[in-house]
Amino acid sequence: MAPNLRFTKIVSAEEEIEKLKLDQIKDETQLKTYDYKLQIVWRNVAIMGALHLSAIYGMYLMIASAKWQTNLFAFLLYIFSGIGITAGAHRLWAHRSYKAKFPLRVFLMILDTVAFQNDIYEWSRDHRVHHKYSETDADPHNATRGFFFSHVGWLLCRKHPAVIEKGSQLDMSDLLKDPIVRFQKKYYLSLVLLFCFILPTMIPNYMWGESIYNAFYICALWRYCWTLNMTWLVNSAAHMFGNKPYDKRISPTENLATIFGAVGEGFHNFHHTFPWSYDASELGLKYNITTGFINFFAFFGQAYDLKIASKKIIKDRRLRTGDRPNDLEYKFFYN
């Protein structure tokens, strides 16, 4: 479903320049040198280890004893909680690529809470730092430190001092003006307990008689762990494997596995080139569940001021910095 055009804003070349002011364009200035030594947080290592072992057991239960409704419910939770990150924390709050009315923002906040990947404020702050200082010590999940670090290792150790310093310098006042962001931030742990763990466990038990045991391991733990890893692939795989049709000078790529696993977020070379474009891809709805979700709510007026890069800007950028400037037909992988 295409968005109602009166809610869509084509961003011109002149307006693209204005985006330099939004803390979304990479800062090329040299970072100062820090006296830094890696500090592993063993509590986080234990928690992540236990979560992944529980998820493996949950996968076994999906095959061995769970009702089909439970497996379907877990899959739907993965999709919609992922959208809470992609359409909510990412495209709405971190990048301000579109605007949303109060009911949609509440819905996205709930979905984001189901995903349990830090509150909207903290997630958006870290993501803005990631874009502004991509692949430097100030990048929370700096891909130059290897696949494991950018995937999950960054959560298992203390933040680099550059991440803390640069994050504290960002202007996040726009998010603090949103009462929904403030509410989630204030009551985050209680909301996570309810929406990420209790309700996903109780709903299958109440609605179709699934055991509490199965529901907890599948709909709470397996679903949570799977969603985390699909999101993390954007930070790891989509910064290492794939082609670069828009900007060959940066590490983010168009990564096919992540496009599907992260519900449309794997068009990462496009996204880092045009971070303010709500669709995060030039292919529209194709392979992009998140864009379809936003378009659906735009049709009903809940999402509006959708910002998109013009075809001319995209073509000009391909010709100027793409890895195959003479081949303007989009391909996931070049022959």
Between 16 and 108, residue with greater pLDDT: 108
Asked if 301 and 101 touch (Cβ cutoff 8 Å), the reply is yes
Rounded to whole angstroms, the Cα distance separating 18 from 320 reads 20
Quote the pTM value.
0.90
Res. 24 pLDDT band, cuts 50 70 90? low
Domain boundaries, the chain: 5-25+39-321
Q: What percent of the chain has pLDDT over 70?
A: 87
Res. 212 pLDDT band, cuts 50 70 90? very high
Name the residue with tokens 């809610």. 7
Residue type, 38: L
Residue 40: strand pairing partners:
157
- Of 68, 56, 82, which Cα lies nearest the Cα of 221? 56
Structure confidence by residue, pLDDT tens digits, 139-172? 999 999 999 999 999 999 999 999 999 999 999 9
Tokens of 146: 């290897």
Lowest-confidence region among 11-25, 133-147, 290-304: 11-25
Task: Give me the count of residues in the chain.
Answer: 335
How many other CB atoms are there within 10 angstroms of residue 19's CB atom?
18
What are the helix (H) ranges across 116-218? 120-132, 147-151, 161-169, 173-176, 179-186, 188-192, 199-208, 212-215
Sign of the torsion formed by the C-alpha atoms of 323, 329, 331 and 335: negative
Question: What's residue 276's pLDDT?
Answer: 93
Question: What's residue 5's pLDDT?
Answer: 44
Question: What's residue 286's pLDDT?
Answer: 77
Rounded to whole angstroms, the Cα distance separating 178 from 259 reads 30
Res. 324 pLDDT band, cuts 50 70 90? confident
- Of 129, 131, 154, 126, which Cα lies nearest the Cα of 141? 154
| Burial of 175: CB neighbours in 10 Å, binned 0-12, 13-18, 19+ | buried
Which residues have CB under 8 Å from 302's CB, separation 6+? 100, 101, 103, 104
Residue type, 237: A
Residue 8: strand pairing partners:
306
